[in-house]
A and B are shown apart, each in its own frame.
Chain A
Amino acid sequence: MNDIITTACKFVTSSIGRKILVALTGACLLLFLVGHLAGNMTIFGGSTWINNYATGLHAMPAWMLMAIRLGLLAILLIHVVLTLVLKLENVNARTHYQKEGTLKATLASRTMVLTGVMIFCFLLFHLWQLTVNGDPHDCYNHIVAAFSNPWCSVFYIVAICCLFMHVRHGLQSVFQTLGLSTRKVRPLYNIVAILFGLVVCGAFISIPVCVMLGIIK
């Protein structure tokens, strides 16, 4: 037992171990994102669909809802805290050049913390706006009302763009960190990451856009 604890401690303090945890939690968050999106898409079915979906979620036993929420929170916190710690270490490990140069690192990969922080801030706002102040029985009108405010929509769209950047690097990064990447499949992962990001983020953005265009009203 001692061996297991010792190794576990060493694992979560090692660079690769923490990266693997970040990758795994990131992968979970991506899955959550897909589920969340699937739910959101019911808005295109009209108010009944999405209201049913929302009330359905709330009809879950309270313990289950709490467990899912706590689980997601834990995953998110692990993801955020570990990346921040890793980032801090990375900043400390580096000495800056007077003239910086970049060969291959994508903009997305270099702005992961920035986009991550943006997404986190958005998340807090998003939860406050649509969960804390929301009413599951009239979800549809609540969303339409929220996105009718252009500032709110713009903020949402900007945040989802950040999410795209984050996912675009994060998704292919998961494969590399979990050791599932080779020279042959790496370009494929890259394409998958971009497509996944485009589809998911495009779908998310479609909601405020449709609200503002009056398609959803």
Chain B
Amino acid sequence: MANLNLTLKVWRQENAQAQGRIETYKAKNIPDEASFLEMLDIVNEELVHEGKEPIVFDHDCREGICGMCSLTINGVPHGGKKVTTCQLHMRQFKDGDTIWIEPFRAQAFPLLRDLMVDRTALDNIIAAGGFVDIRTGSAPNANNMPVRKKTADAAFDAAACVGCGACVASCKNSSAMLFTSAKAAHLNLLPQGQPEKNKRVLAMVRQMDAMGFGNCTNQYECEAACPKGISVDNIAKLNRDYMIACAAEAVGVFS
């Protein structure tokens, strides 16, 4: 165990309208076994004692599953260690390091304060079609529909997305393709998702476009930044499914 002394360059911005700026803070005596957010807690505790406003950042479960924590660390969402920021530990840094901390940036993620952004646009994509439209109570016995284990596993891999938005924040074009394609793939792979497959794909893609995200240019930055290892295979699948859905819509296979 060792203690670290760090220089933090943190984005501060009072509210959506205000002019933001980078401020410099010293983080002193940070235990290397602390998590990144615990490091910020320590810095904030000090700021509070000095009567200054602490750095605002989103976080909740702190075990890497809720997807609420964000932070772009040294230009890479979640710091690029394949974990969420709450699971990033200070042993990944060296004593004397300068760390840049910025919000998840994208026009579709309006900034609320400091490092906190509004990711409702992702919810809106799900609301457009990221579901199986069944009513509670109408489901048949669960084992009536066998699902090939491989298919179930692939669906699970896609469903593991925590909706943090790192894919958007890391993308040079702020595209939400990885997020959208993961949810679409999760449901499109499973037999339960088949009846609405085309409808879902069209609705989700059109909603994604409407939210002001950019366009994917196959740089795979999203996959590299994703804390849950969501594969860009899902994007290829969404492209494929979208072509099929458009063709089906055009010739009226479903309407």
- Of residues 195 through 224 on chain B, the ones whose CB sits less than 8 Å from some CB of chain A are 205-206, 208-209, 212-221, 223-224
Q: Please state if B172 and A94 are interface contacts (CB–CB under 8 Å).
A: yes
Q: Please state if B219 and A106 are interface contacts (CB–CB under 8 Å).
A: yes
Q: Please state if A176 and B235 are interface contacts (CB–CB under 8 Å).
A: yes
Write the A91-114 contact mask toward B (1 if CB under 8 angstroms, else 0).
011111111111111100110100
Given A95-B106, A101-B80, does the pair A11, B246 have CB atoms closer than 8 Å? yes
Binds B, one of A55-63, A135-143, A180-188: A180-188
* Residue in B75, B170, B215 whose CB lies within 8 Å of A90: B215
Binds A, one of B58-66, B88-96, B128-136, B236-244: B236-244
Number of A interface residues in the complex (CB < 8 A): 48
Main secondary structure of the interface of A (DSSP, over half): helix
Inter-chain pairs besides A110-B219, A186-B232, 16 sampled, C-beta below 8 Å = A3-B250, A10-B246, A15-B208, A90-B214, A90-B215, A92-B212, A93-B174, A97-B105, A103-B76, A103-B170, A104-B221, A109-B217, A175-B236, A180-B236, A180-B240, A183-B233
Q: Please state if B225 and A19 are interface contacts (CB–CB under 8 Å).
A: no
Q: How far is the CA of A100 from the CA of B236 in the complex (A)?
A: 27
Q: Does A68 contact B (CB under 8 A)?
A: no
Q: Does B28 contact A (CB under 8 A)?
A: no
Q: How far is the CA of A90 from the CA of B214 in the complex (A)?
A: 4
Query: Chain B: interface residue count, which band?
Result: 35 or more
B99 to A, closest residue via Cβ: A99
Q: Does B231 contact A (CB under 8 A)?
A: yes
CB distance from A126 to the nearest CB of B (A): 26
B244 to A, closest residue via Cβ: A179
Q: How far is the CA of A7 from the CA of B233 in the complex (A)?
A: 25
Please give, as numbers and ranges, the residues of chain A lying within 8 Å of B15 by CB-CB distance: none
Q: How far is the CA of A89 from the CA of B214 in the complex (A)?
A: 6
Q: How far is the CA of A96 from the CA of B173 in the complex (A)?
A: 10
Q: Please state if B233 and A181 are interface contacts (CB–CB under 8 Å).
A: yes
Q: Does B255 contact A (CB under 8 A)?
A: yes
Q: Does B251 contact A (CB under 8 A)?
A: yes
Residue of B9, B175, B218, B235 ringed by the most chain A CB atoms within 10 A: B218
Q: Please state if B215 and A18 are interface contacts (CB–CB under 8 Å).
A: yes
Q: Does B51 contact A (CB under 8 A)?
A: no
Chain A residues with a Cβ under 8 A of chain B? 3-4, 7-8, 10-11, 13-20, 86, 89-90, 92-106, 109-110, 112, 169, 172-173, 175-183, 186
Q: How far is the CA of A112 from the CA of B208 in the complex (A)?
A: 24
Which A-B residue pairs are the 9 nearest by beta carbons? A101-B75, A179-B240, A93-B214, A90-B173, A105-B219, A103-B224, A7-B250, A99-B100, A104-B224
CB distance from B102 to the nearest CB of A (A): 6
Q: Does B74 contact A (CB under 8 A)?
A: yes
Please give, as numbers and ranges, the residues of chain B lying within 8 Å of A97 by CB-CB distance: 72, 75, 100, 102, 105
Between A and B, 11 residue pairs with Cβ closer than 8 Å are: A90-B175, A95-B105, A95-B107, A96-B105, A97-B72, A101-B76, A103-B224, A179-B238, A180-B236, A180-B240, A181-B233
B111 to A, closest residue via Cβ: A95
Q: Please state if A19 and B219 are interface contacts (CB–CB under 8 Å).
A: no
Q: Please state if B212 and A3 are interface contacts (CB–CB under 8 Å).
A: no
Q: How far is the CA of A139 from the CA of B173 in the complex (A)?
A: 44
